[in-house]
Structure 1
Amino acid sequence: MKKLLPLRWISALVLLMTFSGPAAAEQSRQLGPWEVHYNAFNSTLLRPEMAQQYSLQRSETLATLNLAVLDTTKPGKPAQQVTVTGYVMNPLSQQQQLTFQEVREGDAIYYLTQTRFSHRETLRFFITIKQGAQSHELRFHQEFWAN
């Protein structure tokens, strides 16, 4: 029963991302042989028990990034042994390194990180995904609002 509970939380998070508007909507990009799914949202959208489970903080000025990498040569299966690194840049071009936490639940693998923001601040994300000699960069920007 304990293994099912985190999967329910993830399902709840996916539903939350689906119905909470464009600021939290999941996005995806094709990068080489990978389909990268990502969403960045205000950490106050995390349920307290979910935040505790994954050692995440909840704050009005803290963004959470959730990223999953799927191997398009094996539909529906996550890419194995992927290394995710990156940084975020604010409008003043100040950089902050991101430290990703790998989460494995059954066949699912996803990566979580958090970063600070100011109210109505647009952050630019630069994420590098590597597997063996293959490397691709995901770049996107998003505006965050303090709740």
Structure 2
Amino acid sequence: MGRLLSCLLVACLSLSAVAADAIKGERKEVFGDTTVHYSTFISTFLTPETAKATELVRSKNQGVINVSVIKAGKPVVTQVNGTVKDLTSNSVPLKFKQITEQGAIYYIAQFPVEQQETRTFTINVGVNGKTETISFNQELFPGE
């Protein structure tokens, strides 16, 4: 199980790093000595085994957001919540769950992706005793 979760984290960060570097650079926010990394993708990028191990729905119409918080080079346990809005300002709360394994802690949530569109994400993360907010837009494409 730990090996599958490690694969999920590496796959998510690798996919997002390649896509983000190609589009706008690395997806991260720095708050003092703490860095919040984040990525979004359609859940069909997950292998069936990884989706099962993390209890995620693997579907062309389900997106995933992955958030990790690093302080002084080590993963941090924190609070993460947020919302995702579509172009009509319909808002969906993101229900994050913490995934912990050796050497990694990350937070994942799923959200519906019915059609190609740009979504606005607002993520609240506990950092150094206070809540920091990250907002970003991401164009999403349902899978085939």
TM bracket (short chain): 0.7 to 0.9
Name the Cα RMSD after superposition: 2.3
* Residue equivalent to 1:120: 116
Under a length normalisation based on structure 1, what TM-score does the superposition of the two structures give?
0.83
Shift of 1:132: 6.9
Cross-structure match for 1:35? 35
Which stretches in structure 2 are left out of the alignment for 5+ residues?
A: none
Where do residues 1-147 of structure 1 align in structure 2 (5 Å cutoff)?
3-19=2-18, 27-71=27-71, 74=72, 76-80=73-77, 82-131=78-127, 133-147=129-143
Q: 1:5 to 1:48 in 2, by over 3 A?
A: closer
Query: Normalised by the size of structure 2, how large is the TM-score?
Result: 0.85
CA distance in 1, matches of 2:86, 2:39: 18
Number of aligned pairs? 141
Identity score, percent? 30
Aligned mates of 1:32, 1:26 — CA distance in 2: 17
Question: Residue 10 of structure 1: SS of its match in structure 2?
Answer: helix
Q: Which runs of 5+ in 1 are unaligned?
A: none
Is the CA contact (8 Å cut-off) linking 1:87 and 1:95 kept in structure 2? yes
- Cα deviation, 1:31-79, whole Å, max 9, x if unaligned, reads 34421101000111111110000000111111100110111xx2x1112
Answer yes or no: is the 8 Å Cα contact 1:32–1:136 preserved in 2.
no
Q: Which amino acid aligns with 2:43?
A: S
